[in-house]
Amino acid sequence: MKDVKIIPENINLFYIKVSECIINDSQKDERLNYGINVAHNIQNNLKEEKIRIELILDIKSSDANNEFNANFNIDFQFKIKDLADYYEKDNKEPVFDGLFISTLMGISFSTARGIIFERLSKTNMRNVILPVVSPSKLLFKDQ
């Protein structure tokens, strides 16, 4: 793959939609022990220079005495100037540069952290703050 410089000004996050938000609140207002599962779906429209990232986040209690969970499905759509610079064709299918897709995943996950924090802020789960994670770990995590 060719070495391409990522130009932040060429990345336009133009659409965000929380398509699912289910919160089963904690019974206790305290420091919560929880785990997080993250999945993603990436789609592209090469002609329109757009990429869609769907993040699916599942937050669950790890304490049997205080069960709670929250599920979020959030869509992010990007318009990328000069998108063709970030992929090569392999058997007619685009293969995107890993650093480029990791960058978009990082933007999406960071934005999701803020959305989820705001949605949980008026619940007993208000102390749940998603960790900062490496976007490449999100991208290449075994699913």
Q: Which domains does the chain carry?
A: 8-140 (3.10.420.10)
Residue 39 has pLDDT above 70, yes or no: yes
Confidence band of 143 (pLDDT split at 50, 70, 90): very low
What average pLDDT does the segment 48-73 reach? 93
Distance CA 34, CA 59 (A): 7
Do residues 34 and 59 make contact, with C-beta atoms less than 8 angstroms apart?
yes
Residue 51 has pLDDT above 90, yes or no: yes
Beta bridge partners of 4: none
Q: Using a cut of 0.85, tell me whether the model's pTM lies above it.
A: yes
Residue 110 has pLDDT above 50, yes or no: yes
Those residues with Cβ within 8 angstroms of residue 67's Cβ, 6 or more apart along the chain or in another chain: 24, 26, 27, 61
- The DSSP-derived string for 3-63 is -----GGGEEEEEEEEEEEEEE--SS-S---EEEEEEEEEEEETTTTEEEEEEEEEEEES-
State pLDDT tens for residues 7-21.
999 999 999 999 999
Which pLDDT does position 108 carry in this prediction? 97
